[in-house]
Amino acid sequence: DCLKFGWKCNPRNDKCCSGLKCGSNHNWCKLHI
C-alpha cells in the first residue's frame, strides 16, 4: 500500500503513491513535479 497526498512519510524510505514524493524537509507526501 502506498502513502497518499499529505500523509506522513519517511524520506529515506519513500512509500508515497505514484506521482508523489516524500519531502525531506517536512516529511509528508507532496506532488512530485
Q: Round to whole Å and give the CA distance between 26 and 24.
A: 6
- Structure pTM? 0.81
Whether the per-residue pLDDT at 1 is higher than 90: the answer is yes
Number of H helices, E strands in the chain: 0, 2
Give the type of residue at 30: K
Whether the per-residue pLDDT at 33 is higher than 90: the answer is no
Please answer whether residues 21 and 3 qualify as being in contact, where contact means their C-beta atoms are separated by less than 8 angstroms.
no
Q: What is the pLDDT of residues 6-24, one digit of tens each?
A: 999 999 999 999 999 999 8
Say what the pLDDT of residue 29 is: 98
pLDDT band at 30 (very low <50, low <70, confident <90, very high): very high
Give the type of residue at 2: C
Instruction: With H, G, I as helix, E, B as strand and everything else as coil, classify residue 4.
Output: coil
